[in-house]
Structure 1
Amino acid sequence: MSDRITTPFGAESTAAEVLAGLDLTGRRAIVTGGASGIGIETARALAGAGAEVTLAVRDVAAGERVAAELKAPVPVQVRHLDLAEPTSVGTFVAGWAGPLDILINNAGIMASPLLRTPRGFELQFATNHLGHFALATGLHPALAAAAAASPTGEARVVSVSSSAHHRSPVVFDDIHFERRPYEPWAAYGQSKTANVLFAVEATRRWADDGITVNALMPGGIRTNLQRHVSEADLERLRRAAAGDGTGPALRWKSPEQGAATSVLLAASPLLAGVGGRYFEDCHQAEVGMLSARNGVAAHALDPEAAARLWDLSVTTLAG
């Protein structure tokens, strides 16, 4: 694409390097899933740059341990959030006071066995998309207030997706696997496509409020996210990343490197006014499946699918 955005950073850049020299004093940020994996490093980099960070986590005790370990210039706050439970999301939103400059939808579940919420929703879709959708739309007034008060006139939402979005579009006829056989990676891929479609439609709807939303692939990082993934599955992923299965094994990123693209989208002036796009390795991705881990699928950027998903999400959560 002719207007593809690139930056001076890359696959080996760390979150701290991306934010080096930036002063985020007075900026308020929420990081979901901030008690593990790249969530910790995302919070560390933002807090280290002076932002007031809140960790939105299921395990508050773990969040408190991380907050203490970060030793940030401004104390890191911890609040309970279970994205699969609408009441929990509603409580979190109702308890938020004041503007919000940065929302990083980082938490997620990957390739789990078939699990359903009490309302019958497939858990990966419910957690990775619906919970974050409810959170972001509920916090829209706080984001708009921050944009109105900011010298940059902007607030940002970051949607952590995955190259696994190539595995499936959103299957609107059977999102929750009520009629088709359940396949963990297809369910995960569908939810990650939804993360990108959310960025597309939210940017369209919220740009006039000064809110931009982008999605990203953090890279391959060994974290607790893979708790449902066997070593055999990981080996298949490594071989797929090599192309024909005979090339070098997948190079894993460190959590510090995995958080780099998240904080780039959250705070870098290089992305001012940019929304509705998908990034990887600190650059906007090219359209198409360039390899098993690179490129963005056209189905994830489809504006009609994005609008349809938004309306369906509103209806589903209201039901």
Structure 2
Amino acid sequence: MTATSRITTPFNAASTAAEVVDGVDLTGRRAIVTGGASGIGIETARALAGAGAEVTLAVRDLDAGRRTAEDITATTGAERVGVAPLDLTDRASIAGFVSAWDGPLHILVDNAGVMAAPETRTPEGWELQFATNHFGHFALATGLHHALAAAGGARVVSVSSAAHLRSPVVFEDIHFRERPYEPWTAYGQSKTANVLFAVEAATRWADDGITVNALHPGGIRTNLQRHVTMEELDRLRAQMSAGGASTPDWKTPEQGAATSVLLAASPLVEGVGGRYFEDCNEAGPHEPGTRTGVAAYALDSEAATRLWKVTEETLSA
């Protein structure tokens, strides 16, 4: 990837989701936002609905989802905002969501996630963060592939993080059965998986007219950090500063949702796939000592293909 080939837009870290989608008409488009009742998921859904899309909030907490839907309708006038149950750690829940979906799907925003959780395993024995952030979204997206293909020009948005810089996918021990569990390493590995998914899906689904991209939304104080104390966040930021890395300013949820909305709806990235964005522009290669850019291992096509196969095998077992 060269500097001249990177996608740039008029938007930046300070841009909001509403600004990115201003002037874009999504009438007739159908969208799903996972984790749409919390944090940047709310603002992602609000911007898409405000631009005319029919939006489904895929959430674990239906009451929170209904409150969010009512709020979006009240603030945008959009009435086609629905709520559906989805637990990304439960294969039966994902299968139920997929089977209940009828008709084409134009936009899928894989936004939900868990960050730096204490060591927790699903009933299958999978590490929770990898199971939620990657396995769950993989099962959802592949389950909805027929609906995305039917839409013509569909877009899938995989919300990753700069935390992917903390770890590649460690194929030899994805679930921390051999090595000591470390919450941030586990989170980083799952966020790398989100990028690798975009790389492989963009290749596999190109003939279906589906584009898939990944992104880092920026640092936003949301419920995603429910497992992380402010003291821990401050410690991490101080550690970054001491190591010479810049510590970006916190974004508002409206700013944090901007890159997701750009990839979901903007004509500026029409036909673009398999890339990683931050601050509403395609990221350059990661440079040591920084917390920006994308790691080479996250865009590695061989790792992406390997992860896809491993994931298929795991979910079919």
Q: Are the counterparts in 2 of residues 166 and 289 from structure 1 also a CA contact under 8 Å? A: no
SS of the residue 1:9 aligns to: coil
Q: Is the 8 A contact 1:194 1:309 kept in 2?
A: yes
Q: Distance in 2 between matches of 1:92 and 1:73?
A: 23
The correspondence of residues 220-231 of structure 1 with structure 2, limited to 5 A, is 220-231=219-230
Change in Cα spacing, 1:283 to 1:241, as seen in structure 2 (3 Å) is: farther
Match of 1:41 among 37, 40, 43: 43
Tell me which residue corresponds to 1:58: 60
CA distance in 2, matches of 1:240, 1:75: 45
Counterpart residue type for residue 208 of structure 2: D
> Helix, strand or coil: the match of 1:213?
strand
What are structure 2's unaligned runs of at least 5 residues?
none
Task: For 2:209, give the aligned amino acid.
Answer: G
In 1, Cα distance between equivalents of 2:83 and 2:62: 7
Partner of 1:272: 270
Deviations 1:149-207 (A, max 9, x none): xxxxx110000000000100000001001111000000000000000000000000000
In the TM superposition, what is the alpha-carbon distance from 1:239 to its structure 2 partner? 2.2
Cα drift, residue 21 of structure 1:
0.7
The CA distance in 1 between the partners of 2:50 and 2:288, in whole Å, is 35
Q: TM-score, normalised by structure 2?
A: 0.96
- Do the aligned residues in 1 keep the contact of 2:130 with 2:190 (CA within 8 Å)? yes
| Displacement of 1:235 | 0.8
> In the alignment, which of 8, 28, 31 is matched to residue 30 of structure 2?
28
Matching residue's letter, 2:21:
L
The residue number in structure 2 matching 1:80 is 85
Per-residue CA shift, 1:33-59, capped at 9, x if unaligned?
000000000000000000000000000
Percent identical among aligned pairs is: 70
Q: How does 1:157-306 map to 2 (within 5 A)?
A: 157-242=156-241, 244=243, 250-289=248-287, 292-306=290-304
Corresponding letter in the other structure for 2:229: S
Counterpart of 1:313 in structure 2 is 311
Cα–Cα, structure 1 residues 249 and 167, in superposed 2: closer, same or farther, change >3 Å? closer
Which of 80, 96, 99 matches 2:101?
Answer: 96
- CA distance in 2 between counterparts of 1:248 and 1:130 reads 32
Which contiguous aligned blocks of 4+ residues in structure 1 show a shift greater than 3 angstroms? 240-245, 247-250, 289-292
Tell me what 1:151 maps to. none
Shift of 1:230: 1.9
Mapped to 1, the partners of 2:196 and 2:218 lie a distance apart of 19
Cα distance in structure 2, aligned partners of 1:84 and 1:317: 12
Query: What's the RMSD between the two structures over aligned residues?
Result: 1.3
Normalised by the length of structure 1, the TM-score is 0.95
Structure 1 stretch displaced more, 57-66 or 281-290: 281-290
Whole-angstrom distance in 2 between the partners of 1:290 and 1:42: 31
String of CA shifts for 1:250-273, please: whole Å, max 9, x gaps.
410000000000000001000011
The answer to whether the 8 A contact 1:84-1:127 is kept is yes
- Pick aligned residue for 1:10 from 7, 12, 15: 12
The answer for unaligned runs of 5 or more in structure 1 is: 148-153
